Amino acid sequence: MTTAIQQPLFIAGPCVIESQALLDTVATELVAINKALGTDIIFKASFDKANRTSIHSFRGPGLEKGLQMLADIKAKYQLRITTDIHESWQAQPAGEVCDVLQIPAFLCRQTDLLVAAAKTGRVVNIKKAQFLSGRDMRYPVEKALDSGAKEVWLTERGNCFGYNNLVVDFRNIPDMKEIVPTVIMDCTHSVQRPSAGDGKTVGDRKFVPAMALAAKAFGATGYFFEVHPDPDKGLSDAANMLELNKLRPLIEQLIK
């Protein structure tokens, strides 16, 4: 008797909603990958990048328009949807559209935000703060579960390393798997160099595949990729997003 191997979880999409055309381009590719590889990639894009380095940076279309654009993608392409919320009042409307609500790393200890996300009944994906260890994440998880969350995921995205850089301690992955069964590696944010680019975050996307494969070795159950057909022209996180045409071969490696 053979035991079926469970497919890893995948989340992918552009960092921020730039245009409907961009969302359609990425969604079309995700559907093609799902069909070819038997995956179930969750589509991600932000309606508002509220934590940009500079006040002059592009933030997105905002809550109302952004959620409508995500709802259109969900209906048109039959993809599950996730987005990040930054304030507790955003949880309820975002939960009406999204299957998974993402809690940004810097906000993972914000009690009201976690409680509001939990009360929507949606999956809550909490990104580990750059200043916390994997073991510390039991407390944000506890807040969400005690507030009624039915399912909580954790996401690793690196730790502060001096100024303007991150380092990934992959031991955080098995540590967090002792807290929840679903632990995701954020393969693109983990290659960032925060605020190192004259008023913006920069980084190096060439390390994204290595981050994913290293996370696989440490037992990650999911992978998060911000992708773009032309990352260098992206309006947020341009240096770290993976080229869209490189997503499928990388996923093929990860599901072997």
Q: Per-residue pLDDT for 175 more than 90?
A: yes
DSSP conformation letters of 26-69:
HHHHHHHHHHHH---PEEE-BS--TT-SSTTS---S-HHHHHHH
Whether residue 5 is predicted with pLDDT greater than 70 in this model: the reply is no
3 state SS of 253:
helix
Q: What is the pLDDT of residue 201?
A: 64
Q: Which of 37-46, 135-144, 193-202, 221-230 has the lowest mean pLDDT?
A: 193-202
- How much is the average pLDDT of 39-51? 93
Give yes or no for residue 3 having a pLDDT over 70: no
Residue 2's pLDDT is 43
Q: What is the pLDDT of residues 136-169, one digit of tens each?
A: 999 999 999 999 999 999 999 999 888 888 899 9
Separation CA 244–CA 25 (nearest Å)? 9
102 DSSP β-pair partners: 84, 125
- Residue showing tokens 């299957």: 99
Check residue 124 and give its pLDDT: 98
In the predicted structure, residue 81 carries a pLDDT above the cut 70: yes
The predicted model gives 189-214 an average pLDDT of: 81
Confidence of residue 54 (pLDDT cuts 50, 70, 90): confident
Q: Which of 50-64, 79-93, 134-148 has the lowest mean pLDDT?
A: 50-64
Reported residue count of the chain is: 256
Checking if the pLDDT of 35 tops 50, the result is yes
pLDDT at 194: 72
pLDDT at position 203 is: 75
Contacts of 78 (CB under 8 A, 6+ apart): 31
Q: What is the pLDDT at residue 204?
A: 87
User: What's the pTM?
Assistant: 0.93
**pLDDT the model gives residue 250:** 98
pLDDT at 93 over 90: yes
Contacts of 64 (CB under 8 A, 6+ apart): 93
pLDDT band, very low/low/confident/very high, at 197 (cuts 50, 70, 90): low
